Copies of this chain bind each other. A is one copy, B any other.
Amino acid sequence: MRLVECVPNVSEGRDTAVLGRIVEAVSGTPGVELLDWSADPEYNRAVFTYVGDPEAAVVATQALCLEAFSRIDMRTHQGAHPRLGAVDVVPFVPLRGVENEEAVALAKRLGRWIGEQGVPVYYYEEAAEREERRSITDVRRGEYEGLEARLGTPEGTPDAGPATFNARSGASIVGVRFPLIAFNIDLATDDLEIARRIAKAVRSSGGGYRHVRAMGVALTEKGRVQVATDILQYEKTPIHRVLETVRSEAARHGVAVVGCELVGLAPLAAFEEVVRHYLQIHDFSVDQVVENRLLG
């Protein structure tokens, strides 16, 4: 079974009737499983997480878009989170048996379709066609309120859809990103400086692992500190390598790792290299997991 995850962010976090219609639209799509959804009234924004066959994931996302475009009016939208449109961001995440290129093609197919609905589209991250649109923060700069002016400039020309302002729906940002592993490592100390130093050592910007983001966090209630990491490409930097590097750096301060936390979900493939490493099963494959065989 081939799997793509889709995690659209929609600019509605308060109206439960609208959210309910979106939930129905997604979970009513055959071959798609809605894993999670949550709405933030303060942000006035909701996030939906679903997985399915690539085709089914696109169909579910089109159904989500139709509901959002018809029920959300950006002219009256207010919320604390930056946004460009009703269907603000649609990231596709290749999870299983899907190459990056195929996921990008999928994202662009959805992008063209959104364009045909009269909504301008920008491609970001792995789907970006311009280097300056790679980062979502850059694409969203100026937000919905600045969109009309921006569309008239060369820098604002959309990658798909009309270059004319759609006052009701704004614009959508569509792209592909790798599955992110949120992995937090608690240390047996309350010295935040140690966590910060270690975070810097393992993260890309500090000269650490190329696909790792990290920061030191004080867990004041627990009286200890944490190295909070995001592993952006677990195939290139497996989970265990991040942990063992943090362990080694902590040891030089005489500090042990108390425990770790995996936030949310991870694909089975993220544990393949972990099992190979620690159990030393050099040729271990997730195909040796019964459940994996059942998914085909």
Chain A interface residues (CB < 8 Å from chain B):
1, 3, 5, 33, 35, 51, 95-96, 183, 185, 239-240, 243, 257-262, 264-268, 271, 274-275, 278-284, 288-295
Partner of A259 from B264, B271, B280, B288 at Cβ < 8 Å: B280
Shortest CB distance A58–B (Å): 18
CA distance A279 to B259 in the complex (A): 8
Interface CB pairs A-B, < 8 A, 23: A3-B290, A5-B290, A35-B290, A35-B293, A96-B291, A183-B279, A243-B280, A258-B280, A259-B280, A259-B281, A259-B282, A260-B279, A260-B280, A260-B281, A261-B281, A261-B283, A265-B288, A265-B293, A266-B289, A267-B291, A268-B290, A268-B291, A271-B289
**Which of chain B's residues have a CB closer than 8 A to the CB of A292?**
268, 291
Interface secondary structure of A, over-half rule: mixed
Please tell me which one of the listed residues B260, B266, B280 contacts residue A290 in the complex, with CB atoms under 8 A apart: B266
Q: 7 tightest CB-CB pairs across the interface, nearest first? A: A278-B278, A260-B280, A268-B291, A260-B281, A267-B290, A259-B282, A259-B280
Distance, CA A281 to CA B186, complexed state (A): 10
Tell which of B267, B271, B279 touches A239, judged by Cβ atoms closer than 8 Å.
B279
Chain B minimum-CB-distance residue to A261: B281
Which residues of chain B come closer than 8 Å to A265, judged between CB atoms? 288-290, 293
CB distance from A221 to the nearest CB of B (A): 17
* In the complex, residue of chain B having the shortest beta-carbon distance to the beta carbon of A242: B279
Contact of A240 among B3, B95, B257, B278 (CB under 8 A): B278
Q: How far is the CB of A278 from chain B (nearest CB, A)?
A: 4
Q: Across the interface, do B279 and A274 meet the contact criterion of CB distance under 8 Å?
A: yes
The complex places the Cα of A255 from the Cα of B293 at a distance, in Å, of 36
